[in-house]
Amino acid sequence: MEMLEAGEPFSLRAIARRAGVSQTAPYRHFKDRDALESALAAEGFRDLLADLGDGRTPPTSLADLAEFAVTYVAFALRRPALFRVMFGKPCDDADDERVKAADALHELLADALHHVFPEADASALASAGWGLAHGLACLYLDGKLQAASDDEVAERVRGAFLAIASVTP
């Protein structure tokens, strides 16, 4: 994780060198680089889930839900390399840990939305809210949106989320 987040090129051999073990030692834990990246992604999903759930009471308003989006985008901007590993490839159904971690994130969002909109399709709303937050995160990461400060990013994310949520046909 340290190598990934520091922007250092990493491979199983590079990790072995850094850990001071034989070059074959990591292969006892990971079949290949994809398996390593999948393990990192699963850890990233768990970290993001912790950020989203840390000390929060269930949301009661759109403003509370917007804070989930703010936290999501902040995570992406704070840990961009990990974020890209988490979402750079589809979840491999053979990797149970990564699938469980991604599913837990979707469940948290669905539960949060269900608290605010008990009559709505929480799963569909979770996908929509996740898509909006993820899109904003990617726009910032790719330099398509820019902000002078973390506070400006947070305000723009809140504003976008609340704008979409307040539109009625």
Tens digit of pLDDT for each residue in 8-35?
A: 877 788 888 888 888 888 777 778 888 8
The region, left, alpha or beta by phi > 0 then psi within -120 to 50, assigned to residue 56 is beta
CB 126 within 8 A of CB 113: yes
129 pLDDT more than 90: no
Task: Compute the Cα dihedral for 65, 70, 71, 73 and give only its sign.
Answer: positive
Residues 132 and 160: beta-carbon distance below 8 Å: yes
Mean pLDDT, range 132-150, rounded to an integer: 95
- Output the pTM of the full model: 0.87
Contacts 24+ apart (CB under 8 A), 112-116: 112/58, 112/59, 112/64, 112/65, 112/68, 113/65, 115/58, 115/59, 115/60, 116/59, 116/60, 116/61, 116/62, 116/64, 116/65
Instruction: Report pLDDT for 78.
Output: 96
